[in-house]
């Protein structure tokens, strides 16, 4: 039996369905993850009017807001937040405005990514096999490419969600920069739009570089500190193998995989 066949056989023995449901408290926790970072970043940006030194902690808070927002969006894209599907669509709509990116567009391209990971037609991971510096250079175009691809491939219902999100984002931009005149909000919008330019590198390249569609499609991460800081977002191979499992349960899934498959975590993010 080849190593790939042996691994496939071992994967069939993994118990994972018990990890899919979230308790009410787990769902509430997931839904609240980004809020403290959002409020903290806005508070720091407000203080930056008096001292530019506050921009440093503000940027750090925005980074973690962006990271936790990606986790929430990622779970909602798979309808894995433990609440109704329509409620999760509303979560994606809300995060679209807060993070300045259509999250239903990301959902469309992300599900294509799961079906055709690293193969032709995988728009999300199109740059995964390129050098890191080229991914960073192409980063600002990445959100545009995702939206255009989602409008081509999405269902009529998804396209309506995307159109609504883009309209709300445009309206929010206008209100922030021409109506409210609140510097903290301007800093926030500028920061998250900058963050979207790095998504191709941090959310895609880091977890897929050096991988291929026929063997190992993604990387993973071990070490409690690294996964604590990254909010468990780098259990990416586990996610690709069992996408219905919510992020909060991926550490338990990883332990089961490590027991069943030798060298499962050989390719790590860093």
**Count of C-beta atoms within a 10 Å radius of residue 141:** 12
| Residues 6+ positions from 132 with CB-CB distance below 8 Å | 201, 205, 209
Crossing angle of the two packed helices 85-99 and 156-175, in degrees rounded to 10: 40
With CA atoms as reference, report the closest residue to 170 among 241, 103, 97: 97
Query: pLDDT band at residue 4, thresholds of 50, 70 and 90?
Result: low
Lowest mean pLDDT among 24-33, 85-94, 154-163, 209-218: 209-218
Length of the chain, please? Answer: 270
pTM: 0.93
pLDDT of residue 13: 87
Residue 1, pLDDT > 70, answer no
Q: What share of the chain is helix, strand, coil (3-state, %, to 5)?
A: 70, 0, 30
With CA atoms as reference, report the closest residue to 62 among 80, 79, 81, 40: 40
Contact 20, 80 (CB under 8 A): yes
208 three-state secondary structure? helix
Structure tokens at 145: 């490419």
Structure tokens at 79: 């309808």
Contact 11, 242 (CB under 8 A): no
Per-residue DSSP letters for 149-181? HHHHHS-HHHHHHHHHHHHHHHHHHHHIIIII-
Mean of the per-residue pLDDT values of the chain: 94
Residue 7, pLDDT > 70, answer no
Structure tokens at 99: 């993070």
Distance, in Å, from the CA atom of 62 to the CA atom of 79, rounded to the nearest integer, reads 25
Residue 171, pLDDT > 80, answer yes
- Mean pLDDT, rounded, for 222-236: 94
Structure tokens at 141: 């175009």
pLDDT of residue 213: 83
Structure tokens at 34: 């980004």
Q: How many helices (H) and strands (E) does the chain have?
A: 15, 0
| Residues 6+ positions from 162 with CB-CB distance below 8 Å | 102, 104, 105, 108, 147, 150, 151, 154
Contact 103, 90 (CB under 8 A): no
| Residues in a beta bridge with 268 | 220
Domain spans of the chain, in order of start: 23-215, 218-270
- Mean pLDDT, rounded, for 166-192: 97
* 45-98 pLDDT per residue, tens: 999 989 999 999 999 999 999 999 999 999 999 999 999 999 999 999 999 999
pLDDT of residue 3: 45
């Amino acid at each position: 039996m080849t190593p790939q066949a042996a691994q496939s056989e071992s994967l069939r023995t993994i118990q994972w369905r018990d990890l899919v449901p979230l308790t009410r408290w787990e769902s509430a926790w997931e839904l609240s993850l980004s809020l403290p970072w959002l409020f903290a970043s806005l508070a720091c940006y407000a203080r930056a009017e008096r001292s530019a030194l506050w921009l440093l902690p503000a940027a750090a808070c925005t980074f973690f807001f962006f990271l936790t927002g990606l986790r929430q969006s990622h779970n909602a894209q798979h309808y894995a937040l433990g609440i109704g599907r329509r409620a999760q669509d509303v979560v994606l709509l809300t995060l679209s405005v807060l993070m300045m990116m259509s999250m239903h567009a990301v959902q469309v391209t992300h599900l294509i990514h799961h079906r055709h990971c690293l193969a032709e037609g995988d728009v999300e991971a199109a740059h995964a096999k390129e050098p890191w510096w080229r991914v960073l250079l192409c980063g600002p175009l990445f959100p545009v490419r995702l939206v255009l691809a989602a409008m081509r491939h999405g269902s009529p219902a998804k396209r309506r969600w995307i159109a609504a999100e883009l309209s709300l984002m445009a309206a929010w931009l206008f209100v922030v920069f021409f109506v409210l005149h609140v510097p903290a909000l301007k800093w926030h919008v500028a920061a998250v739009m900058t963050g979207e330019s790095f998504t191709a590198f941090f959310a895609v390249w880091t977890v897929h570089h050096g991988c291929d569609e026929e063997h190992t499609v993604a990387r993973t991460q071990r070490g409690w500190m690294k996964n604590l800081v990254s909010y468990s977002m780098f259990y990416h191979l586990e996610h690709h193998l069992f996408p219905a499992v919510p992020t909060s349960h991926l550490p338990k899934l990883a332990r089961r995989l490590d027991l069943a498959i030798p060298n499962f975590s050989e390719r790590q993010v860093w």
